[in-house]
Structure 1
Amino acid sequence: MSIHNIMEEIVLEVLVKYKGSLQLTCECERCLDDIRAIALNKLPPRYIVQMEHRPYVRAPYTADRQGVTNIMSIVTQAAGIVSKSPRCGEDA
């Protein structure tokens, strides 16, 4: 049995859905991963071990207007941070 952080899929869905309105300076995989990481570090993790519990854990963050607004705000802030200083051009 594996542990799954539902917040990861919620943040990814928000990022994909609103990517066009985030005014990103770069949409490469590295920059999108950086946005996800920054957002996830600001949000509480929501772990499950049984996938059938997914809807119950997701509901406060996808069905509740305040939950959706909170996640969108955090993803927008993370996008702003990455857009100001994209790391995709750095040498490894």
Structure 2
Amino acid sequence: MIFSRDLSILNAMEPIVSNLFEDNYVKTGALKCDCEKCQIDIILLTLNHVAPHYTSSQTGEAYIKALYQEPQLQSDILREITNAVKVIAERPNH
């Protein structure tokens, strides 16, 4: 199957995880190492442990983001971010 370049495929979890990570760890200075490589590794490790939610439209992205305004779902993602922060702090890739 060949995809048209007119349509984009987005994992809507990427901006959700990135924003929660930024707000709860980067801005607060809570990271042992705050280099860009460690930050990306934390986001990637987190994304590997949360279910992806793919969409090809802004409407779909908005719907998924609205779902993740629920405190329990945000808490679940924060738990995964915290686990990733611990792993990367113990074994940084640099």
For the aligned pair, the TM-score class normalised by the smaller chain equals 0.7 to 0.9
**1:71-82 superposed matches below 5 A:** 71-82=77-88
Distance 2:10 2:39 in 1: 20
* Number of aligned positions between the proteins: 87
Instruction: Note the C-alpha offset of 1:23.
Output: 3.3
In the TM superposition, structure 1's runs of 4+ consecutive aligned residues that sit over 2 Å from their partners are 20-23
Runs of 5+ in structure 1 lacking a partner? none
Separation (CA, whole Å) in 2 of partners of 1:66 and 1:82: 24
Identity, % of aligned pairs?
30
For residues 43 and 76 of structure 2, the distance between their equivalents in structure 1, rounded to whole angstroms, comes to 15
Change (3 A) 1:75 1:36: same
Q: What TM-score do the two structures reach when normalised by structure 2?
A: 0.85
| 1:40 equivalenced with 2:47 (yes/no) | yes
**Greater gyration radius:** 2
Task: Give the aligned CA root-mean-square deviation in angstroms.
Answer: 1.4
AA of the residue aligned to 1:13: N
